[in-house]
Amino acid sequence: MTRRWKVLFEVIREFGYTELPADRGTQQHPQWSAGAVQHLVPRGMETDLASVPMFLWGVIASYGRQTLPALLHDRLCWAAQQPDQPAPYRRRARRQADDQFRRTLRASGSGLIRRWLMWAAVRVFGRPPVLVSFALLVLGVLALPFVGVGWTPALVAVLVGGVGVLALAVAGAVEQDRVPVIAPPGTVVPAADEYTPRRFEARALGGLLGAVLVSLVAAFPIAVLGAATFVVELVVGLGERTTAAVASGPVPADGCTGVTARIQWRPLVDERASTVNANPDADDL
């Protein structure tokens, strides 16, 4: 499905990820059993891939080497935000998802700058309160070279934004593990006892402040390129609208494709044979 500023996709085949060593195969051809898979992205999950706004595609596209890490990150973030979990545990789970995103970007072959920029983006933009303070800080810093260091509004924005980021980073560094309590069979354990005591995590504070610093350094060049791309996209995209007129799947036996399926193609993945048609014919498209 397409929207004015977003295109949504659906995962048609589940895939897994693990950091455990291979438990099958050979050293030259390692294999992993289903039990060795630590995280699974299910079939049917909807995603906008790497969640990069369209006007920033000139900097980092929403697809490429970052596609599979982004899908895994979306799934982990969804699991980390379940409402039945306490906030300190959700913060820890989200931080771990962000850190794993950076590791999987490296495993997929992404370069140093790309993976640190994308990690910093999910770390900062994934927390709306931090994002508001960061936006104030960026606006103040970007304004200073043009209006001078004596302009009070810019200084206030820098001060308020900086203090806000620091305060939220300190508050967000209080985390909690979830470790099931070992109790005798039949013992009822309160839900609160399934979690370890809350504690301050210095690496959580350092990670968020590092992400803010990376984002701040990259803010000016990205803002310039993003603004130019935004204007170009507005011009090129004149007349476009939200639509669901692109559909995939085989044409029904009666030949009627329906009003929302004017564009049809057969999937390149044969689910019954569990194979991928790597060399489709013209009739397959």
Helix (H) or strand (E) holding 174: strand 174-175
* Residue 266 zone, left/alpha/beta (φ > 0; ψ -120 to 50; rest): beta
Give residue 208's pLDDT.
93
Mean pLDDT of 274-280: 42
Whether 127 contacts 168, CB under 8 Å:
yes
Which amino acid makes up residue 117? L
Q: At what angle do helices 202-236 and 128-147 cross, to 10 degrees?
A: 70
Least confident segment among 51-65, 140-154, 242-256: 242-256
Least confident of 3-12, 32-41, 107-116, 180-189: 180-189
- 80-107 confidence digits (pLDDT tens): 888 878 889 899 999 999 999 999 999 8
Q: For 251-269, what is the mean pLDDT?
A: 46
CA distance 5 to 146: 31
Q: What's the rounded Cα separation, in Å, for the pair 6 and 255? A: 31
pLDDT per residue over 230-246, tens digit each?
888 778 877 766 655 44
Q: Which of 266 and 77 is assigned the larger pLDDT?
A: 77
Which one, of 113, 111, 138, lies nearest residue 124 by Cα? Answer: 138
Q: How confident is the model over 131-171, as pLDDT tens digits?
A: 999 999 989 888 888 877 777 888 899 999 999 999 999 99
Q: Are 169 and 205 in contact (CB under 8 A)?
A: yes
Does residue 15 have a pLDDT over 90?
Answer: no
CA 181 to chain centre: 32
pLDDT for 195-214, tens place per residue? 888 899 999 999 999 999 99
pLDDT at res. 85? 83
